[in-house]
Structures are given as C-alpha cells and as structure tokens.
Amino acid sequence: GVDVDSASCAELFALLSSLSKLPIRQGIAVTGALNQHGEVLPVGGLNEKIEGYFRVCKEIGLDSKQGVLIPERNMRHLM
C-alpha cells in the first residue's frame, strides 16, 4: 500500500491556476502526492478513486468532458 497525501497535487494545481488566472476545467479530477522536492508520488486506492469519480459523474450526467489526472508512477496500477 501507499500511504501519502493524495490531494497535494490538486492543491498545487488550484494554487497555480489562481496565481496565473488560468482556470482549470471543472470536469477534471486530480490525485497525486508531492514530496518536499516537488516530485509527484504514487497514491493508493487509485482504481477505487477513479471508479467513484465516474460513478458520481454518471449520476449527474456525463458529457465526455470528464477525466482524471493521475501520477505516472500509478499507471501500472490501473485496471
């Protein structure tokens, strides 16, 4: 298992979006952790997070503009 803060990438993206005045599409979910050197770390429960996000999207109406950003090091965990 991986035990890290899986929201720190989303927090960084929100901060950068605010500072740059460039909005982030609201249909994009983000998971990923950052270490003290700014490196993106893998997170646990990836498949469950993605499935949960798309389950909610389906309930409110998918419009093909939804997506999920994940750490590259998590690619091997996708099912």
- The CA–CA distances, whole Å, from 67 to 3, 5, 73 equal 24, 20, 18
Active site residue 58: no
Given the residues 18, 49, 64, 65, the one annotated as active site: 49
Catalytic residue among 6, 20, 58, 64: 6
Residue 6 among the catalytic residues: yes
User: Catalytic residues, which ones?
Assistant: 6, 49
